[in-house]
Structure 1
Amino acid sequence: MNLLIKSATIVDPNSLFNQQVADIFIKDGKIAEVAKNIQADAEVFDAKGKQVSPGFFDLNCNIGELGLETKEDLKTGTAAAAAGGFTGVALMPNTQPPVHSKAEVEYLFNRAKNNLVDVYPLGTLSQKREGKDLAEMYDMYQSGAKAFTDGNRPVQDSGLMERALLYTKGFEATVFSYPEDAAIAGKAKVNEGEMSTLLGMKGIPSLAEELMIARDLYLAEYTDSKIHFTTISTARSVNLIREAKKKGLKVTCDVAAHHLVLTDEALAGFDSQYKVKPPLRTRADVNALLKGLKDGVIDAIVSQHTPHEIEFKDVEFEVAEFGIIGLQTAFSLALLAGLDIALIVEKLAVNPRNILEVAVPTIAAGQKANLVVFDSNAEWNFNKENNLSKSGNSPYLGQNLKGRILLTCNNNKVYQSK
């Protein structure tokens, strides 16, 4: 594959050409040259007025394979990822069976070979995600698992979390914590506040998240271990992690793109497409999350891509499943939240790889071509025709969004939007 990207504005903090307009000549999957006015025998992609950055990387992606392929399989999931500008995804182990041994890790790596999108399976923290006994984490680590988590099941047993942190410290792996105290959250479906009262529904208090973050920060400090909190959603959660970082704890965190733009007011019509977990919070929480991104407390933005068949979402709000698909809309939502391009690239492309300790691609001669070209000003319509996921559970389906992905390149393969 020979490709010449012409006149693109490069947005890459690690590149000598950062914030400059240049041509990028890609030959056989590698960047052969970055310069002004390159002449080469190659397919030309006109990127004048457009931006190019390292490919995005998603730290929280749910794909049904293994066992739940009717929701999403690797083929459709990675196609949606490429269309959203992602060249790498970390897969949550929320599958049947869960990714709780090296057999599942190796299966997923083999299934994802020769794909445009790099796939990184995350292993479970506990056997079968039951929260009782530690999973075979070191075996999974040797097979390529970079981090460990029980996915969307919070670890309720403090002793188990302590042992997991101590054990993974031995081989410098990272534990991902989904912070929720299930005893406090109960079976509630929405954020506890004015809207839950108005809707007549029992709410999940922000305390359920914050209490678990406080616990896991204490455990991480006690064990001197690395911990990553995924999909934080409240103002106090941001403050707890801010204080922990000031103390020098090895803590990182991310936020789901939809939590940057939506509040619990979206639930006024009982539309189950807005039912997510953690639940949509208040405007004050959204403002705190945005501030946390800008001042560096929140390290990354994730899609929290969670596909479901129509029969799990097109039902009464109370019984509908949690989650929305987000791979193709994450970039647009970050723009909608008012974040600038350089910050978005940092939170979507650079920091996620640093957290998972995988190589960060650079737009420079001699480097592998792992990049995305986008137009941050162009509008596009997210619809059934261009939705590449198997599932359609998104409140943004049928809506016009700003920020269009034009081209995604990795592993000597190219995706171009139509």
Structure 2
Amino acid sequence: MTYLLRHGLLVGPDAVRVADVLVREGRIAEVGDTLDAPAGATVIDVEGCWVGPGFVDLHSHLREPGREAAENIESGARAGAVGGYCALVAMPNTEPALDNVALVSYVLDKGARTPLDVAVAGAITQGREGRHLAPLAEMAALGVRLFTDDGTGVQDPSLMRRALDYARPLGVRLAQHCEDEALAARGSMNEGVLSSRLGLVGRPALAEELMVMRDIEVKRATAFCAMAMRLAAGSSGFSRLAV
């Protein structure tokens, strides 16, 4: 099949511009300001729509196994495909957590039967409990390249340092949920004037900032790169200290 997409907002590496895109047999054949429609081509007016290569979602919650009532691998992948995504990374905060070869294989096998490329982020610690390292090398052997205890930060700095040391020769990356639970565990909203007025326990910005600063120093000690997830604007400034 041949399709000509007219007047779309073409997303490129440098800018967004209005352009036509010719797609032949599932591949982009030509891009131009005004293209002629080949014989037999289906012309689709996509004015006002974003057109580009498939997007990649690096932080997807497919909830399978254990929480399929909210989402599952098939439904999440189909939703991504409809939204213009060609690949996604499934987070490990499932029940049980994606912390071993069997569960990672399960998600990869089911993901292979969906319209998208489904990758897996493995858990850093067993059960995402922050006490013992998960078998990172075994999961890395299956192609896992990102590890995180998503939704729960690794609170023990000694354990985080060991995880970074262990990950370095594997060629993988760690992503940290930056929040000090000792400061934030009881909070139900951002700490500030509104939380005081409502009489609710807040989660202070300091909880995030301390974890970011701690992991910057741990990263320096291990000479290895870690990523921080979901940083607020205030904490993101500390990232310059890591250079």
TM norm structure 1 = 0.54
1:181-220 equivalent positions in 2, closer than 5 A:
181-220=180-219
Deviation, 1:120, is 1.5
Tell me, what secondary structure is at the counterpart of 1:94?
coil
Is the CA contact 2:145–2:171 (under 8 Å) kept in the aligned structure 1?
Answer: no
Aligned residue in 2 for 1:28 = 25
Q: How big is each residue's C-alpha offset from its partner over 1:305-345, in whole Å with a ceiling of 9 and x where there is no partner?
A: xxxxxxxxxxxxxxxxxxxxxxxxxxxxxxxxxxxxxxxxx
The residue identity in structure 2 corresponding to 1:238 is S
Is the CA contact 2:37–2:43 (under 8 Å) kept in the aligned structure 1?
Answer: no
Aligned residue in 2 for 1:143 = 142
Deviation, 1:67, is 1.6
User: For the residues of structure 2 that align with 1:133 and 1:38, how far apart are their CA atoms?
Assistant: 61
Q: How big is each residue's C-alpha offset from its partner over 1:56-75, in whole Å with a ceiling of 9 and x where there is no partner?
A: 32222212111211111112
Aligned residue in 2 for 1:58 = 57
Tell me, what secondary structure is at the counterpart of 1:34?
strand
In structure 2, runs of 5+ residues without a counterpart are none
Q: How big is each residue's C-alpha offset from its partner over 1:152-194, in whole Å with a ceiling of 9 and x where there is no partner?
A: 1110111110011111111221100001111111321111110
Aligned residue in 1 for 2:2 = 2
Deviation, 1:97, is 1.6
Aligned residue in 2 for 1:238 = 236
1:123 paired with 2:131, answer: no
Deviation, 1:114, is 4.4
The residue identity in structure 2 corresponding to 1:25 is L
Is the CA contact 2:178–2:212 (under 8 Å) kept in the aligned structure 1?
Answer: yes
Aligned residue in 2 for 1:394 = none
Deviation, 1:126, is 0.8
User: For the residues of structure 2 that align with 1:189 and 1:49, how far apart are their CA atoms?
Assistant: 39
User: For the residues of structure 2 that align with 1:142 and 1:108, how far apart are their CA atoms?
Assistant: 15
Tell me, what secondary structure is at the counterpart of 1:176?
strand
In structure 1, runs of 5+ residues without a counterpart are 249-418
Is the CA contact 2:78–2:114 (under 8 Å) kept in the aligned structure 1?
Answer: no
1:99-118 equivalent positions in 2, closer than 5 A:
99-118=98-117
The residue identity in structure 1 corresponding to 2:66 is G
Is the CA contact 1:12–1:19 (under 8 Å) kept in the aligned structure 2?
Answer: yes
The residue identity in structure 2 corresponding to 1:80 is A
% identical equivalent positions = 36
Is the CA contact 1:206–1:234 (under 8 Å) kept in the aligned structure 2?
Answer: no
Q: How big is each residue's C-alpha offset from its partner over 1:357-388, in whole Å with a ceiling of 9 and x where there is no partner?
A: xxxxxxxxxxxxxxxxxxxxxxxxxxxxxxxx
| Greater C-alpha Rg | 2
Tell me, what secondary structure is at the counterpart of 1:9?
strand
User: For the residues of structure 1 that align with 2:156 and 2:202, how far apart are their CA atoms?
Assistant: 23
Is the CA contact 1:60–1:230 (under 8 Å) kept in the aligned structure 2?
Answer: no
Is the CA contact 1:155–1:161 (under 8 Å) kept in the aligned structure 2?
Answer: yes
User: For the residues of structure 2 that align with 1:243 and 1:54, how far apart are their CA atoms?
Assistant: 34
Is the CA contact 1:9–1:21 (under 8 Å) kept in the aligned structure 2?
Answer: yes
Q: Using CA pairs under 8 Å that are at least 6 residues apart, name the structure with larger relative contact order, 1 or 2.
A: 1
Deviation, 1:46, is 1.1
User: For the residues of structure 1 that align with 2:143 and 2:109, how far apart are their CA atoms?
Assistant: 11
User: For the residues of structure 2 that align with 1:234 and 1:22, how far apart are their CA atoms?
Assistant: 34
User: For the residues of structure 2 that align with 1:149 and 1:180, how far apart are their CA atoms?
Assistant: 13
Aligned residue in 2 for 1:307 = none
TM norm structure 2 = 0.91
The residue identity in structure 1 corresponding to 2:227 is H
Deviation, 1:142, is 1.8
- Identify the range of structure 1 (211-220 vs 3-12) with the bigger mean alpha-carbon deviation: 3-12
Count of residue pairs the alignment pairs up: 241
Deviation, 1:241, is 1.2
Aligned residue in 2 for 1:282 = none
Aligned residue in 2 for 1:13 = 13
User: For the residues of structure 2 that align with 1:49 and 1:152, how far apart are their CA atoms?
Assistant: 36
User: For the residues of structure 2 that align with 1:94 and 1:180, how far apart are their CA atoms?
Assistant: 16
Tell me, what secondary structure is at the counterpart of 2:9?
strand
Is the CA contact 2:55–2:87 (under 8 Å) kept in the aligned structure 1?
Answer: yes
The residue identity in structure 2 corresponding to 1:200 is G
- Identify the range of structure 1 (212-221 vs 87-96) with the bigger mean alpha-carbon deviation: 87-96
